[in-house]
Amino acid sequence: MFILFISETELSREKGLSAAGANAEALPYTAPADADMLYYERPRVIDCIPIDPSGHPTPALVTKAAVQEGGLPVMNIRAGTSIAPVAPFRDLGALPGRDPRIGPAVPDFSKISENAGSAAKDLAASGIKKFVLAESIPGGTTTALLLLRSLGYNGTVSSAGPVNPLSKKEEIWNAVSSRLGISTGGMKGMGLAAAAEVGDPMQISVASFVSALPTDAEVILAGGTQMMAVAALLRDMKVTRPLLVATTKYICRDRTSCFVDYAEKIGVEWYSAPLDFSASKFPGLADYEKGYVKEGVGMGGAVWYALQNGATIEKITDRTEKLYSTLTS
């Protein structure tokens, strides 16, 4: 099953931090709109075409194409958004994440963890054996950096577009680490408590979900450095089960992502989806090849899952083109 966890944080509203946060009024609709895209031709929670400020379509479009080509069952889990999607979802009763420069990012983490664990057990009891877990959370690469640093992984993270505001992310890490009086690795061994201080509700939800699954369940974390941070959290929680972090070639060739280096240090397998939109007739999709959109909504993991079910890259690409044409007509 392909499961999308949708979340939101106060930190994502920081100017210049997230492409999704370029419009503060639209930001709360970002993740719910992605959830809608998995079920409908276009978002129903807001009447607009889901594009970034430069006109590039949401990666949910590619995810949707992969889901359709692979015939994959899907589910949404609401893990801390101020607005609910119109599409069906399971609610973990989480609040949006807070600004970790001011105080704990996820003070209600115990309740979120318990509810996420219950969701995992319910789905496993229904006979599901393969779980591809994705995320949609604006500003998530920043909270990924904060969690990775706090657990001892010294590196950088990717961005949603070609310009990565690394200096801004470092400023935030400096402010958070100063508040807590820690340096890199200062929260190693604290597990969920570390994510509760510096991370976001998605990280806690996915990690708790995975840790509650039976040992024979197959787990794929669908995402880039955001899911790599979840993998690091799981290892810090002493979860030793095999993990595959599936992303796209756009993340792997982004030197600021440190994706492969993190995978080796954390001890997880990784996959890079070989998408190619260079021949697209739509400039918004062709620009994916220039790094304008790299990952999100489990794009790489959805492609991996679809290929396992007999789909091809060519068919996924063609369906993406058709979906985009329908969306813009």
Q: For 224-237, what is each residue's pLDDT tens digit?
A: 999 999 999 999 99
The pLDDT mean for the chain works out to 95
9's CB contacts (< 8 A; 6+ apart) are 80, 96, 97, 98, 99, 105, 137, 138, 139, 140, 143, 200, 201
150 has a pLDDT exceeding 70: yes
Distance CA 253, CA 272 (A): 10
Residue 307: CB atoms within 10 Å: 19
106 has a pLDDT exceeding 90: yes
Q: Where are the alpha helices (DSSP H) in 181-291?
A: 192-198, 201-211, 225-236, 249-252, 259-266, 283-286
CA dihedral over 20, 176, 207, 236, signed as positive or negative: positive
191-230 per-position pLDDT tens digit: 999 999 999 999 999 999 999 999 999 999 999 999 999 9
Distance CA 93, CA 83 (A): 12
Give me the CATH number covering residue 247: 3.40.50.10210
Residue 300's domain comprises 2-328
| pTM above threshold 0.85 | yes
User: What share of the chain in percent tops pLDDT 70?
Assistant: 98
Q: What domain count does the chain have?
A: 1
User: What share of the chain in percent tops pLDDT 90?
Assistant: 88
In this structure, what are the phi and psi dihedrals at residue 120, rounded to the nearest 5 degrees?
-65, -45
- pLDDT tier, 22 (very low <50, low <70, confident <90, very high otherwise): low
In order of 54, 90, 141, 211, 212, the CA distances from 115 in angstroms are 37, 10, 24, 12, 10
Q: Which of 79-88, 112-121, 163-172 has the lowest mean pLDDT?
A: 163-172
41-92 per-position pLDDT tens digit: 999 999 887 777 677 899 999 999 999 999 999 999 999 999 999 999 999 9
Residue 191's pLDDT is 98
Given a contact cutoff of 8 angstroms between Cβ atoms, the answer to whether 55 and 46 are in contact is no
- Locate 116 and state its tokens: 């996420």
Distance CA 136, CA 227 (A): 11
Q: HSE of 116 in the Cβ direction (CA atoms, 13 Å)?
A: 29
